[in-house]
Structure 1
Amino acid sequence: MFDSSRSRAYHCSSDSHNQTIASHCFELVKRAQPQFNICGLESSYTLDKSVPNIEDRVTKAIPQELLYACRFWADHIEAGKCAPALVEQLQDFLSMRLLLWMEVLNLNQQMESGTECMRMMIKWCDQLEAHPELVKLARNAQQFVEAFASNPVSQSTPHIYVSMLTFWPKSAPIAKHYAKYARGPVHAEGMALEQRQLAHLATWAFAKGIGSMTMSHDGLYIALAVDRDVLVVDSSSGRVTLGPLKGHPNVVQWITFSLDGTRVVAGSTNYDTYYATILGWDTRTGKTVLGPLQLDGHTNSIQCLSFSPDCTCIATGSEDKSVYLWNTENGEMLHHLGIQDPVSATAFSPNGIQIAAVFAKSLQIWDRNTGDTTLGPITTPVQAYFISFSPDNSCIIYGSNESIYIHALDGQSEDTILRPVEGYTYGINCIGCSSNGRYIVSGSGERTVCLWDAQNGNLLLGPLEAHMGWVNSVAFSPDGACIISACGAGLVCTWDARQRNLTFSPNNASLDGITCVKFSSDGTRFVSGSEVGTICIWDTHTGGMVIGPIKAHTSRINAVDFLNNYVVSGSEDGNICVCNAPKGAVVVGPLEILPNRKVQAIAYSPDGKQIATGSDDEVDLWDAHTGTRVLSPLTGLQGSVMSIQFSPDGSWIVGGSQEYGNNIATWNVSDGKSLCQILDGHSHWVLSVSYSPNGALIASGSYDWTIIIWDAYTGKRALSPLIGHSDYVRSVHFSPCGTRLVSGSTNGTIRIWDVQTGEMVFELLNGHESFIISVAYSPDGARILSHSYDMSVRIHDARSPEERALSQSECEVGDWTIDKDGWVVDDRGRLLVWVPGILRKALMWSNTQVMVAPQGYVRLRFDKSRMGESWANVFSSDS
């Protein structure tokens, strides 16, 4: 029938008919009514699955012919090779009907078909060179659809409009075409929206940290090592398809799929044992099909383990200066490869014939079958911690925390060197290579992902930020279009590897690496010190930098204090500086007061005449104007003095140190004599001390997870220890009225305590994504300043949720939280809006008033938003 010479008058032109059907598909979508909220969903507060009778409603609202048109229009264009002939209809579809089309597919749980339509559409873009604006719109539409389909936001169809349009970059083609129809959307504002990296596709959160990650060879599934278990998830949605697969006695550290995808195999070991445990499962049934095998033979701890591509052989590298090769089926040792140093990493070649290892500053390759050396050992410029073969077997990729080296195995080409972006403190943890060998992806301890050109070493994309912990696994999809990364904080992120650095700009030196902060005396400003020795002054109401950066030190600033118009700072190299804040100038120093020692803590006396510093084993007093010593060192503490403070009347100093006993002391400022040493209290280091406003009490926060309030005159406990934090208490500070105490912990929580009873008043929802470094009340007690290892500084409303609720009207959205999937949820569990993973770190929570961070901030306003039962009025399309 399709052969014109055979069927003649009855000939059917496949191309022509497919073009006709594709055109009819577009017409069906165009004529569909209504063009918005096709299923008449009443509220945006719930997930689709929670809507009563949702399946019946979808069936009645969306006829089969419309569903067919939405699923297969792209297939017909592809089959008919007719994209240029349908340019006008494609333009109308993308600029007017895309969101309706997404509604239809999502309500029918067919978004996977939608992403495939978008992929096919992008293939035709080279046929549409005469229409560059349409090509831009098509590419942005693909990003929009993939971002929706691969994230939890797809669980609620109304949030195509309520959430996706809210956070989509305003300058992007999709926003330009559709945002003009929005009526009263959730209002989002802030610099982070403008700096959003469109390379980010999805973030999936898991309950526990991820130790390792791998992708199946067909790209359909991802296997995750989550604590002692293994999960298999869908690579397009993050949905768990298998698991948890159990059986490992220790945390799983290595994982792989078999070539045919029918097995997933994982290895675990304990650092104080000399054997590894191997288990394998059937990916269809979840049944154990391999092991548990114990690979027992090393005489020291196993540092690395790798699987051959066909999963028939395992290599282990150990501190005992050996590499062992094992039979995967029975655990039999095949070869013992002896070397001169402890092994850091091993890798099999893509064909499985060779095994490579790095150790000390050496690299060696063996034949897997014979155990004979085929290369090396050769000397490497660095001690490598990871290694991989290129897909074509032509190169070895290895590296350290600081750089990646690509070594050509032909022995003739020079090595290519890839170095991390300058300004990043923590190095590379892992690498992956694209299937064509042209690109390398790296994950870092800085919680970032980078894409590199393997030919010239240039950075193409990144550093990409969305992770909350060290990135320990990275991989490419088989087609190289997608990057997958996993971190120890339980997040998996997917990235568009086709993007390039269009929006990334280097971190502002005034923001990057803030190490310490302090309120000014009047609370209108706060000061920050940095990793690079700079001082900045910030407005506490706007978050804007008003003075700085002031180059005060040549090394890391560990502590600052702010009194009236002067800032004093102490640094890693034993120097102090005094800066005039209004002038932005250093007026004293830098003075090297403690050669070869660190200034860990610093404080002004209340009258501003003296400066106290804390260092190893002692506290020192200095003249604030000249920098000369006032008293002999104040001794009595052991270990580094981490926190010091003057009493409100300036007559006493309290200090806390990193010592198991004798870790809190007070001294008289006039003669340096110690009033008392508080011995019977903390069982671990003291990290923070604070005087109450009347000087009668001292609070201390400790490594032992407790807070103790002491009588400042007798050294006895005024209350039983305050217990509630589940990790180290890093910082404590009294409120100006003296009735409350704020504390911050390494587990990321901030708590407010009643000083009279020792009871917790409330936990301050803070939005930080890492441990708290410091907390402090503002001088008026209305706000709390917090500084976190996530590199952000936040200023919060100090009132409890109940106190805040009293000042809010009934129509206002009260305090809200954000769950692990990115949903902003109010106190009634209603879904207000979904926030993309790339923006959550920058999100200002409901009680956050000011935020200063390298990535900027995002502030949500719900006061004029049409949500919930009024969401149906949020969009009005002119069709």
Structure 2
Amino acid sequence: MSNPTRSKAYHCSPEAHDRILAKHCLERIQRTQPQFNLCGLESSYLPDHMVPNIQERVASAISSDLLYACRHWADHIEAGKCESTLTVQLQGLLSTRLLLWMEVLNLNKHMRTGVECMKRVVEWCNKSESDEELIMLANDAHRFVNTFAANPISQSTPHIYVSMLTFWPSSSPIAKHYMRFTRGPVEAEGTALDQRQLAHLATWRYEGEIRAMAISQDGRCLALGMGTNVLVADSSSGQRILGPLHTHSKAISAIMFSPDGTRLVTGSVDYDDAGPFPHSWTYKIVGWDTNTGDIVVGPLPLDEPASRISCLTFWSDCTCIASGFAGQTVCLWDAKTGKMLRSLEADALVRVVAFSPDGSLIAAGCDAALQVWNSHTGDITFGPLSAGQVNTITFSPDSSRIIHSDLDKKTINVRDAQDGQLIHELSVNVEGDFGHGNSIGFSPDNRHIASNIDGVVYVWDAQNGKMVLGPLEGHTSGSTEVMFSPDGSCIISACEGGAVCTWNTRQYNFAPSSISARFSGISLAKFSPDGQRFVSGSDDGSLHIWDSHTGAMTVGPIKAHSFRATGIDFFNECVFSSSRFGEDMIVAHNLKSGEVLRSLKCPPGHDVHMIALSLNGDLLATESYVHLGSYPELNLWDAQTGTRLLSPLTGFSQRISSIQFSPDGTRILASSWDTYKQMVVWGVADGRNLFGFLNGHTSNVNSALYSPNGALMASGSLDRTIIVWDAYTGSQVLSPLVGHSNWVESVHFSPDSTRLVSGSWDTTIRIWDVQTGEIVFELLHGHEHVISSVAYSPGGTRILSLSDDRSLRIHDAQSTEERALLRSTTNFGDWVMNKDGWVVDDQSRLLVWVPGDLRRALMWPRTQVAIAPWGYVRVKFDKSRMGESWAQSYT
């Protein structure tokens, strides 16, 4: 019937009927009543699956014709090649009925269909040359729907309104069209809202270290090599589809889908390290059925050459495998039989190999050189070419270009695949080790290059080499993979910590944080003696003085040092700071103005790591090294003149981790990483060791200090315990305090000496009763990384915490019971945010969902001040219509 020549009078035009169906679908959605809360859900506190009789309610409220219309209207627009006649109806759907449409799809578990619909709409708008306003609305709607579908927020349909609209950028088309209908929304405020990484779509966390990743050619499935296991996940939601599948005995190093998506091939390097060198190496290839998880190929060992394997990769059709060896060879294998096809001689140890997409070339990174062969003949195409240390390499989709890392220059280099000529040198400002995990991906249209460098994603224009997106931060550990989706609409990145992040490639408007432009990562911080301010020292040697109640910067940045600030201490209105290098290693500034009061010069060769002032301000102690490789020593100086008062105090063979004067200034306590000489107390008058070496821990001591009343000392150790000591006798007062599951990094007494706060590598902050050794409570803080420093305020009501994630926070130090008595708790008490981004109360009720890019900025109930390069965000529930009143939140 679709052939007019054959059917003649009975001819039926599919395109015409698709246009008719598209029109009727949009009209059906428009006629739906009610246009909000279609299934009459009573509470926003519940996920959909916990709503009583949810399936019956959905079936009753959402008819089959409405569901069809919601699922297929975009299909009919695309198939009918609809022109501008549907523009008005489409505009109406996107601007007034998008949220209703999402309700229907989400309650029927068809949000993936919704994402596909929005993708088609964006393509249709671009092809039909719609007006700019409609194109912007369609793009924003696509991102809105994609974000909802890809995250756990889709577990609760009411949060389309309660949470999605709350955090959606206020200047966006969706917010402008829909926020005017909200009544009593959850309030969100803070500097982080203006600094958002709008490209971020979702972060999914898995249990295990991700070493390899692949995406199916239809873009629907994601395969993850997690240690020795394989996991297949839905690429739109991150939910597990298959696995974990297990047969490898060592970590999977390569993974790839077959072109039709029915099979998955994985490769690992297994070896027996029990015997003498050289070890016995086995290269195992396994093929899996992606529907059942059954093994359909292998485990297949490759013929073993004499030297160990260093890298492994597959050709795009999974028929051929390339491996690099320490013996300076690249081997090609038949993936079905495991037989070697060809051996290629390299110039040095082969670190990484890659096939060109058309299969004609194979490239290898060999120590500091790049070499390329014709994969069919084995002839050298070019090289070895000096290219710096190469640890990652890939080809452009059209096989015309090679992209590789240069660890020596800290660059990503783009070269011509035929002659190796350098086309672009892409650089980023990376602190530390550029080579700690980086990977490269090319967009399917050859227009963009993405790299995941140490957990941060950057995107460049492949034509001119200019950065167009990034830095995109979402990972908390070293990167392992980055790739574009087959349609090029998003970037997917993975890291060793088990996280997978997805990013919208159309969002090229991320601006660096205004705060990060003012200061680099905070390396240390301390309250002023009156508690009204605190001072932070930064990696670039600058100091900042802040109001401890509001978080406003009062003075700074003060360029105190040329290198990283290593120590801070106070006397009256003077702040002393130190740095390891530079002409003036110790500088004193006025706390109110930042004016330099004086500087103290250490003897030549001294490398100052930390400082401490006596309470009366007369004495200054420094921990330093005289020269590289020497043992640490502690020196006492006149704080006013810089005159050395005693000969160096020595005895430790490892670095000193903390120093502090006793409250009366007569003694000084030092702790060390020396396992057998953990702590020492010296007399200030004569430098005498008062108690010998105090050893109570089973490992290094990170932190030690006096109690304010001078009667006690406390130490925190790598052995995960805290010990409280008698300051007059050097004996232990209590058995070691046990509670942390990782190293104790910092301890600090409350001003009345009755409590102790500790911060740990397990990311927890705990408050202890000094008399009993019991945990009083665990402070809920919001940091995502190691707690590197904690301290009570001089008034004892607040606690300052510093984390390795470069953020600083100040918290209410009262227990839950004390807060309740003073009525200082917020609505819903001490709510927490779980790993899925849900803010929940003590009854596990869903209060609001926080987008992934804002979670590290969220101020928790006890947090009063948050300082970080990414800003802060605070949520308020005081006037919110949520829970049982959520149905009144939208009109």
Does TM, scored on the shorter chain, surpass 0.5? Answer: yes
Trace 1:702-851 onto structure 2 (pairs within 5 A).
702-808=717-823, 812-851=827-866
Q: 1:709 to 1:279 in 2, by over 3 A?
A: farther
Give the structure 1 partner of residue 450 of structure 2. Answer: 441
Give the structure 2 partner of residue 545 of structure 1. Answer: 553
Kindly indicate whether the alpha-carbon contact (under 8 Å) linking 1:808 and 1:814 is maintained by their aligned counterparts in 2: no
Give the structure 2 partner of residue 383 of structure 1. Answer: 389
Which is worse superposed, 198-207 or 458-467? 198-207
Select the residue among 582, 586, 607 that pairs with 1:576. 586
Unaligned runs of 5+ in 1: none
Q: Are positions 1:533 and 2:546 aligned together?
A: no
Kindly indicate whether the alpha-carbon contact (under 8 Å) linking 2:385 and 2:420 is maintained by their aligned counterparts in 1: no
Name the CA distance, whole Å, in 2 between partners of 1:315 and 1:80: 46
Name the CA distance, whole Å, in 2 between partners of 1:123 and 1:332: 46
Select the residue among 582, 595, 598 that pairs with 1:588. 598
Instruction: Give the aligned residue type for 1:437.
Output: N
Kindly indicate whether the alpha-carbon contact (under 8 Å) linking 1:728 and 1:747 is maintained by their aligned counterparts in 2: yes
Question: 1:770 deviation in Å?
Answer: 1.1
Show CA shifts across 1:440-464 (max 9, x none).
111121x311111122221010111
Q: Are positions 1:355 and 2:370 aligned together?
A: no
Q: 1:696 to 1:340 in 2, by over 3 A?
A: farther
Kindly indicate whether the alpha-carbon contact (under 8 Å) linking 2:792 and 2:800 is maintained by their aligned counterparts in 1: yes
Which is worse superposed, 205-214 or 689-698? 205-214
Trace 1:397-546 onto structure 2 (pairs within 5 A).
397-401=403-407, 402-411=410-419, 413-421=421-429, 429-445=438-454, 447-505=455-513, 508-546=516-554
Show CA shifts across 1:39-58 (max 9, x none).
00011111111112111101
Q: 1:851 to 1:318 in 2, by over 3 A?
A: farther
Q: 1:83 to 1:781 in 2, by over 3 A?
A: farther
Show CA shifts across 1:216-258 (max 9, x none).
2221111112233111001111111100111222333432223
Select the residue among 377, 382, 396 that pairs with 2:402. 396
Trace 1:129-140 onto structure 2 (pairs within 5 A).
129=129, 131-140=131-140
Q: 1:671 to 1:249 in 2, by over 3 A?
A: same
Instruction: Give the aligned residue type for 1:409.
Output: A
Give the structure 2 partner of residue 229 of structure 1. Answer: 229
Q: 1:748 to 1:79 in 2, by over 3 A?
A: same
Select the residue among 598, 606, 609 that pairs with 1:600. 609
Kindly indicate whether the alpha-carbon contact (under 8 Å) linking 2:660 and 2:706 is maintained by their aligned counterparts in 1: yes
Give the structure 1 partner of residue 314 of structure 2. Answer: 307
Q: 1:874 to 1:573 in 2, by over 3 A?
A: same
Name the CA distance, whole Å, in 1 between partners of 2:348 and 2:724: 52
Unaligned runs of 5+ in 2: 274-278, 626-631
Identity %: 55
SS at match of 1:86: helix
Select the residue among 602, 610, 613 that pairs with 2:619. 610
Show CA shifts across 1:644-683 (max 9, x none).
1111111111111222211211111222222123343223
Kindly indicate whether the alpha-carbon contact (under 8 Å) linking 1:37 and 1:158 is maintained by their aligned counterparts in 2: yes
Q: Are positions 1:666 and 2:681 aligned together?
A: yes
Name the CA distance, whole Å, in 2 between partners of 1:686 and 1:506: 38
Q: 1:668 to 1:722 in 2, by over 3 A?
A: same
Give the structure 2 partner of residue 633 of structure 1. Answer: 648
Instruction: Give the aligned residue type for 2:41.
Output: L
Q: 1:412 to 1:639 in 2, by over 3 A?
A: closer
Question: 1:130 deviation in Å?
Answer: 6.2
Trace 1:54-453 onto structure 2 (pairs within 5 A).
54-126=54-126, 129=129, 131-269=131-269, 275=281, 276-294=283-301, 297=304, 302-368=309-375, 371-380=378-387, 382-401=388-407, 402-411=410-419, 413-421=421-429, 429-445=438-454, 447-453=455-461
Kindly indicate whether the alpha-carbon contact (under 8 Å) linking 2:678 and 2:695 is maintained by their aligned counterparts in 1: no
Show CA shifts across 1:16-43 (max 9, x none).
5544433332332222111110100011
Instruction: Give the aligned residue type for 1:47.
Output: P
Question: 1:510 deviation in Å?
Answer: 3.4
Q: 1:628 to 1:811 in 2, by over 3 A?
A: closer
Name the CA distance, whole Å, in 1 between partners of 2:751 and 2:656: 25
Name the CA distance, whole Å, in 2 between partners of 1:527 and 1:294: 60
Show CA shifts across 1:708-728 (max 9, x none).
222222222222222222222
Name the CA distance, whole Å, in 1 between partners of 2:824 and 2:530: 30
Question: 1:12 deviation in Å?
Answer: 5.5
SS at match of 2:177: helix
Name the CA distance, whole Å, in 2 between partners of 1:497 and 1:156: 27
Kindly indicate whether the alpha-carbon contact (under 8 Å) linking 2:723 and 2:734 is maintained by their aligned counterparts in 1: yes
Question: 1:640 deviation in Å?
Answer: 1.4
Name the CA distance, whole Å, in 1 between partners of 2:242 and 2:480: 22
Question: 1:512 deviation in Å?
Answer: 2.6
Question: 1:393 deviation in Å?
Answer: 2.1
Name the CA distance, whole Å, in 1 between partners of 2:11 and 2:352: 64
Q: 1:738 to 1:437 in 2, by over 3 A?
A: same
Name the CA distance, whole Å, in 1 between partners of 2:498 and 2:820: 33
Name the CA distance, whole Å, in 1 between partners of 2:826 and 2:725: 45
Q: 1:731 to 1:809 in 2, by over 3 A?
A: closer
Kindly indicate whether the alpha-carbon contact (under 8 Å) linking 2:515 and 2:871 is maintained by their aligned counterparts in 1: no
Name the CA distance, whole Å, in 2 between partners of 1:396 and 1:542: 51
Question: 1:375 deviation in Å?
Answer: 2.5
Q: 1:622 to 1:182 in 2, by over 3 A?
A: same
Trace 1:848-867 onto structure 2 (pairs within 5 A).
848-867=863-882
Q: 1:130 to 1:120 in 2, by over 3 A?
A: closer
Show CA shifts across 1:106-153 (max 9, x none).
111121221122112112223665632222222211111111111111
Q: 1:393 to 1:127 in 2, by over 3 A?
A: closer
Question: 1:198 deviation in Å?
Answer: 1.9
Taking structure 2 as the reference length, the TM-score comes to 0.93
Name the CA distance, whole Å, in 2 between partners of 1:4 and 1:459: 52
Kindly indicate whether the alpha-carbon contact (under 8 Å) linking 1:83 and 1:127 is maintained by their aligned counterparts in 2: no
